[in-house]
Amino acid sequence: MPAQRSRTSGWRRCLQQLVDHKGSLQIALAPAGPTGSDFVWRAKLLGMTENEILVEMPTAAGEPLPLTRGVQLLGIMAIGQNRWMCRTSCVGTTTVRSRGREIVGLKLAMPSTMERCQRRRDFRISTDSLVLPEVSVWPLLDPRSVVLAERLCQLRIERMLSGCTEPESIDSKDTMPDVGPMLPATLVNIGGGGVGLQISGADASGIGRHRLFWLRFPLPGVEGYPLCVTAKQMHWHLEAGGATYMGMAFDFSFNPSHRRFVVQQITRAVAIQQREQFRASA
């Protein structure tokens, strides 16, 4: 059997190997149209049967995200430099015991097939594609300066949601904490209380000198001001092609109240995407 066909037809065996090794499946809401950008959640695999895949419930800043039964999802399986994508759906939730504690698991319909992405950095197949959010990343020079900046971020978004159309009296540069030069990045996954970022090789020099960063990124399906949050770099490594992957954990040490706001905004964005998806299919 040719190698290409073997890799494509053997996806179920690869999925079982990921389950056996306690790996992860990446999932995203199936786009109902041009959404601008899409979140991809990394969810730990808990098990699989003939008809279902069981994963940990996706989270926002550590809080479970409510996914509606019947919502259409994209499943992404990555092994080394190879990536497969498929259409699936949420078929319910269940409580399982994992690592000595009770957790909520999400049940996904077992796909009939998976299609291999043609390029290792693409989230694109013949029927679906995802556009990952672009993120602005700044090294944080004074962590205490995030308190006012996060509060202003919250006020601007709340002002927008209230329908206020009066001109702002605060200049955008005044909403920034004390930071270094900006680094452009791509948000490749979210989950576990943080995000995974990818930075091109030309922009990644010197990231190891900083621990805390200020992030600003758009919310999928939501027009308006982007979400701002402080994040701590937990690990980083070089990827094929020269890009750098940064594993970041949200940090609310200097402004604990901002955690609730971040959870609310991500949850709101997911609810909007689900509503639009059901509306498009009605």
Alpha carbons 125 and 85: distance in angstroms, whole number:
7
Residues 6+ apart with CB under 8 A from 50: 110
Q: Delineate the domains of the chain, giving CATH numbers in brackets.
A: 3-116 (2.30.110.10), 134-281 (2.40.10)
Nearest to 133 by CA among 184, 175, 86: 184
Tell me: the pLDDT tens digits for 207-242? 888 899 999 999 887 888 899 999 999 998 888 778
Strand partners, 83: 78
Residue, of 152 and 80, whose pLDDT is higher: 152
Number of H helices, E strands in the chain: 4, 15
Per-residue confidence (pLDDT) for residue 228, from 0 to 100: 95
**pLDDT computed for residue 1 by the predictor:** 37
Query: The pTM is what?
Result: 0.87
228: amino acid identity, one letter: C
- Tens digit of each residue's pLDDT (9 = 90 or more) over 84-120: 999 999 999 988 877 777 888 899 999 988 988 876 6
| CB-based burial label for 7 (10 Å; 0-12, 13-18, 19+) | middle
Taking 80 as the threshold, does the pLDDT of residue 173 lie above it? no
Greatest Cα pair distance in the chain: 67
What is the chain's mean pLDDT, rounded? 86
6 pLDDT tier (thresholds 50, 70, 90) = very low
Confidence check: pLDDT of 70 > 60: yes
Residue 174 binned pLDDT confidence (cut-offs 50, 70, 90): low
pLDDT at 75: 94
d(CA 220, CA 29): 10
